[in-house]
Homo-oligomer: A and B are copies of this chain.
Amino acid sequence: MKKGKVYAVGAGPGDPELLTLKAVRILGGCGAIAVPKGRQDGESMALGIIGRAVDLAGKAIIELHFPMVKVLSPKALEPAAQRILDTVKDGTDLAFVTLGDPSIYSTFFRLRQALLFFDPSLEVEVVPGITAVTAAAARIGNGLALSGEKIAIVPASYTSGLKDILEKFECVALMKVHSVFPKVKKILEETGTIDNAVYVCRAGLDGEIIKQVQDVEDKDLDYFSTIIITGKGR
């Protein structure tokens, strides 16, 4: 029997209407849906998103445990990979769902390495999704980058080189700012970029917060938040 295919499907930033037509078709056709289990960054939120656009009844929902280690080697991911390979061996197609886009900051590509390590003949396809960055930019509404501008997408924890980046890039998106917010705010003040810095949390969803960084209070800080710095010198 021909074995099934594995898809990585981007669920977008939260609004189920931001799923692509292709994501909906692929998810509808897969007999099994895999999501990381109980991760702090809420990948299982992805299941909530797709469940509002796709009928999940009758599909196997597979929660995968990822070890909390710095380097996810194929060995560390063997249990998760084997569960997926077991699922597809009878011809069932499986979709691994990620928030946003699978190519940006998802665990999928470590898992893919492990899958192909244990079964080099496995077919894998990536279905792109709307990223948190462009969703946030859409809500701010004055564009991320105009023609000719450079964009940096940087984990906010990378504070050591942030000044240099703010100097050289017209547009900077800082991801997951909640835990380093005061430090980042200080750097934005020091570099004179704070007037161009907008905090976006839960873009396009209930409880959305869009504020100038100066106006952000402690209660606004949330795991799913981004700071967009744009429009300097326009």
Q: Which of A105, A106, A134 has the most CB of B within 10 A?
A: A134
Q: B128 near A21 (CB under 8 angstroms)?
A: no
CA distance A158 to B110 in the complex (A): 32
Least CB distance from A81 to B in Å reads 16
Stretch at the interface among A148-156, A194-202, A207-215: A148-156
CA distance A11 to B33 in the complex (A): 27
Out of B19, B128, B145, B146, name the residue touching A153 (CB < 8 Å).
Answer: B145
Closest to A17 in B: B22
By a CB distance below 8 angstroms, the chain B residues around A127 are 138
By a CB distance below 8 angstroms, the chain B residues around A64 are none
Taken residue by residue from 95 to 119, chain A's Cβ proximity to chain B (1 for < 8 Å, 0 otherwise) reads as 0000001111111111010000000
Least CB distance from A101 to B in Å reads 5
Determine whether A18 belongs to the interface, using a CB cutoff of 8 Å to chain B.
Answer: yes
State how many residues of chain A have any CB contact under 8 Å with chain B: 59
Within the oligomer, what is the number of copies of this chain?
A: 2
CA distance A144 to B158 in the complex (A): 18
Q: B134 near A103 (CB under 8 angstroms)?
A: yes
Q: B153 near A150 (CB under 8 angstroms)?
A: yes
By a CB distance below 8 angstroms, the chain B residues around A101 are 134, 137-138
Q: B103 near A137 (CB under 8 angstroms)?
A: yes
CA distance A142 to B111 in the complex (A): 10
Determine whether A226 belongs to the interface, using a CB cutoff of 8 Å to chain B.
Answer: no
By a CB distance below 8 angstroms, the chain B residues around A107 are 147
Q: A158 near B150 (CB under 8 angstroms)?
A: yes
Interface residues of A (CB under 8 A from B): 10, 12, 15-22, 24-25, 53, 101-110, 112, 124-131, 134-135, 137-139, 141-155, 157-158, 161, 164-165, 168-169
CB-defined A-B contacts under 8 Å, sample of 10:
A18-B21, A102-B138, A105-B146, A109-B146, A112-B142, A126-B139, A129-B130, A130-B130, A151-B152, A152-B169
